[in-house]
Amino acid sequence: MKARIKTYLIGILFILSSVLNAQDTISIVFSGQSVKDAYINIVNEEPDATRPSLIASVWTHGGEFGTGRSLIGFDFSELRQNSVILDARLSLYHNPTSAHIGHSTLGGDNTGVIFRIIESWNENTVTWANQPATTNTNAIIIPAPETDDADFLDIDITPIIRDMIRHPESSDGFMIKLFSEDTLYRSLVFASSDHPDETLHPSIEISFIVDLPSDSAYAIQPDNESGKDAFVSSVGSTLKDNNQNLVASVWEYDEGWGVVRSFLDFDLSQFNTETPITLAELSLFHDPNAIVEGHINNGGSNELLLSRITESWNEDDISWESQPSVSTENTVTLPSSNMANQDFMDIDVTNLILDMIANKNESYGFMLSLNNESEFGYNRNVVFASSNHAISELRPRLVIYTRNSTGYIDTPDLTSQVLIYPNPGNGDFKVAISDSKAPVKYRVVDSFGQLIRVGTALGTEFTLDLTLQPSGIYYLTLIVNEVEITKKLMVY
């Protein structure tokens, strides 16, 4: 693989401005001969790994209805799981020598979509029949091109790349397909890595930080008792307390067109301005039980805004008229989505969380609202599960990463009491705790904040078996003398 590497020093990184001084940001361009790609079509039984084009289409082939998709994979092995991806851009170039017509809207809209592939595949053996599975989490829309020879340069695929680096065991490239595969005579045609003109090969440029200090990860996922969320509507009844949805919409009700916003709060009292937070990520999950269909944009935009709430509110009596004000500083924007069941994982809300901690008297969670609430005439919405949802895994989750041993207020530095070896290791860890009385409670989470193991050690020395877990970073939290201590584990 040809990897062009450039390193430059920047000042205080925008996502880490309060905790880090200068960091080396590395940008790597992935492209070249060792990129794997392939074309599959429902009418083709044989593998097609040498085609100079990446095609997503619905077209006839010898009179048969054929759906075409393309797969492409890059080798990201030089990126480590503890690297923080700042930005990732994919460039796809139109293939001017293709025998196919090119980007075509002959039969209608040719909007495309990029999915993360979650199963391994071989370009020399993959076919329609054995194509790998994909996930629509953080999928990326390729807007319909304005011309039949348009290039798509610098497509922002940062969320997908973050997923790939953190979960290499379930990531093997991208699948490119048309968003709708129902109507004939529509296509997208790009050059593949087999094209004779190397300047047209697909490429990805990734900017990241190496070895970000992050010793602790804290996952906050409130339930019905501890959670605080609600949504309000400008018309009709307001659905809030104990509702299972978080909704942001512009919708036509019996009373006329109305706007819906949602409010969500997390308990951040254990953090203060001295806590060296390096990263904060929010995950919102589609609600499969929602009455409405799901995320809908009807050809328009349901781009979502996350804003910091600056006034107190109560989920039991909030209304459209009494809704709190918000700040426009460090607002986070989520792209428009017309995939009804899409999850939005690992949303970078670091700056918002830092603002909340620095301004605790003027910070009361997040407001979710559509970026464009003024255009009526068609229904648009996003629908996520709330903290009241019956399925606990779908409730909103906030993961905060810190540099010190715990990140909690007034927690003494007791990390020297805990010895873990070998670390890094193959997952078979020995844990020894000094100056502590047994039993010792512990839990293990992965870098995604998911609970892996919880238990109680009957002695002050015990074995922790993570040998069946994928390679990566894990966090072991122990309660030692009524104080939580978190240690980072690395499984190779």
Q: Does one domain contain both 205 and 220?
A: no
Q: Tell me, yes or no, whether 87 lies in a domain.
A: yes
Q: Are 70 and 37 in contact (CB under 8 A)?
A: yes
Q: Does one domain contain both 232 and 129?
A: no
Q: CA-CA distances (angstroms) from residue 295 to 206, 276, 285, 291, 337?
A: 29, 36, 11, 12, 7
Q: Tell me, yes or no, whether 409 lies in a domain.
A: no
Q: Tell me, yes or no, whether 241 lies in a domain.
A: yes
Count of other CB atoms within 10 angstroms of residue 473? 18
Q: Does one domain contain both 220 and 205?
A: no
Residues contacting 146, CB < 8 A, separation 6+: none
Q: Does one domain contain both 16 and 164?
A: yes
Query: Which residues in the chain show pLDDT less than 50?
Result: 1-23, 213, 241, 405-414
Q: CA torsion, points 80, 81, 84, 90, in degrees to nearest 10?
A: 70
Q: Which of 156, 176, 209 is the last residue of a domain?
A: 209
Conformation bin of residue 256: beta by default, left when phi > 0, alpha when psi is -120 to 50: left
Q: Does one domain contain both 200 and 220?
A: no
DSSP string, 305-335: EEEEE-S---TTT--TTTPPPEEEEEEEEE-
Q: Does one domain contain both 185 and 328?
A: no
Residues contacting 44, CB < 8 A, separation 6+: 61, 66, 127, 128
Beta strands per DSSP E along 406-480: 418-421, 428-433, 440-446, 451-457, 461-465, 472-480
Q: Does one domain contain both 393 and 420?
A: no
pLDDT the model gives residue 471? 82
Cα angle, residue 159 at apex, residues 154 and 165 outer, rounded to 5°: 105
Q: Does one domain contain both 38 and 182?
A: yes
Q: Which of 148, 176, 209 is the last residue of a domain?
A: 209
Q: Rounded to two decimals, what is the model's pTM?
A: 0.67
Q: Does one domain contain both 56 and 159?
A: yes
Count how many domains the chain has: 3
pLDDT the model gives residue 481? 65
Domain coverage including residue 296: 216-402
Q: Does one domain contain both 419 and 306?
A: no
- d(C-alpha 76, C-alpha 78), whole Å: 5
pLDDT the model gives residue 242? 57
Q: Does one domain contain both 167 and 21?
A: yes
Burial label, 420 (beta-carbon count in 10 A; 0-12, 13-18, 19+): middle
pLDDT the model gives residue 308? 98
Q: Does one domain contain both 253 and 308?
A: yes
Percent share of the chain, pLDDT over 70 = 86
Q: Which of 209, 241, 258 is the last residue of a domain?
A: 209
